[in-house]
């Protein structure tokens, strides 16, 4: 739970807890473990306790590669797992998943693997032991997003997509850019980001294409792909 919430565990990798390993800040780990036992293994208590720590509430910054870096000195952004990323995209873009296949055995597994979520998981999965700084996108992932009708239609500036709705209701680019940022990153753009976006829209000359590029850029940003 600590690793999931802070992006950095008492043991790294998180599942390597052999007898020869020494955790970072063992007294903190023991305190949490004792409290977890005393509260009858209540996960809500554990999550609430971790969320109330200063370590969790510190500012977010990339994890230092230096072996001398102080553990838990800041929140470490963690790349979303493939299933989390698919759910985030479905929520932001507003597309509905197909009804899961209800069969059993190999046919059910085949249908699941051939579904958009199943294919997405296969392409976007990664080894959780890989250092966060080594996790990057690749051409196969980009092509999958661009060529899958569900994603392509959901990011189009026309039709019934959320982006199309924003462009129809917001004629002022300052308001439209702010809406796209709120949709994807749950925050408004900084003054610098707003100026860059407005200049790009003017340079492209085609409002729909410019906003499609903006949406794709935000969906592929480390801020969207990572969890604080």
Assign residue 18 a region (left: φ > 0; alpha: ψ between -120 and 50; beta: otherwise): beta
CATH 1.10.3130 occupies which residues in the chain?
82-97+137-227
**Among 12, 151, 3, which Cα is nearest to 69's?**
12
Residue 78 has φ and ψ, to the nearest 5°, of -120, 130
Given this model, what pLDDT does residue 134 score?
Answer: 61
What's the pTM?
Answer: 0.67
Given this model, what pLDDT does residue 74 score?
Answer: 56
CATH for 82-97+137-227 (1.10.8, 1.10.1200, 2.40.240, 1.10.3130): 1.10.3130
The pLDDT profile of the chain, 228 residues, written as one tens digit per residue, is 887 777 777 877 677 777 778 888 888 889 999 999 999 999 999 999 988 888 777 655 555 544 455 556 555 667 777 888 888 888 899 876 655 555 566 665 555 656 777 778 878 776 656 655 566 667 777 787 777 888 888 899 999 899 999 999 999 999 999 999 999 999 999 999 999 999 999 999 999 999 999 999 999 888 888 876
Q: Which residue has the tokens 């299933």?
A: 83
At 171 the three-state DSSP class reads coil
37's enclosing H/E stretch is helix 26-38
């Amino acid at each position: 739970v600590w690793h999931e919430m802070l992006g950095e565990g008492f043991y790294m990798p998180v599942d390597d807890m052999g007898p020869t390993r020494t955790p970072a800040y063992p007294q903190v780990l023991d305190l949490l473990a004792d409290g977890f036992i005393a509260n009858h293994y209540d996960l809500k208590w554990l999550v609430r306790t971790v969320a109330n720590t200063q370590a969790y509430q510190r500012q977010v910054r990339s994890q230092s590669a230096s072996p001398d870096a102080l553990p838990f000195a800041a929140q470490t952004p963690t790349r979303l797992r493939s299933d989390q990323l698919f759910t985030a995209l479905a929520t932001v873009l507003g597309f509905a998943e197909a009804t899961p296949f209800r069969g059993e055995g190999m046919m059910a597994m085949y249908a699941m693997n051939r579904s958009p979520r199943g294919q997405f998981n296969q392409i976007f999965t990664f080894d959780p032991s890989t250092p966060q700084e080594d996790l990057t996108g690749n051409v196969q992932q980009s092509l999958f997003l661009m060529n899958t009708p569900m994603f392509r239609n959901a990011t189009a500036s026309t039709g019934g997509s959320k982006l199309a709705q924003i462009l129809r209701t917001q004629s002022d680019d300052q308001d439209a850019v702010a809406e796209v940022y709120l949709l994807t990153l749950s925050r408004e753009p900084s003054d610098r980001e707003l100026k860059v976006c407005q200049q790009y829209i003017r340079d492209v000359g085609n409002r729909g294409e410019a906003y499609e590029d903006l949406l794709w850029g935000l969906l592929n940003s480390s801020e969207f792909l990572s969890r604080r």
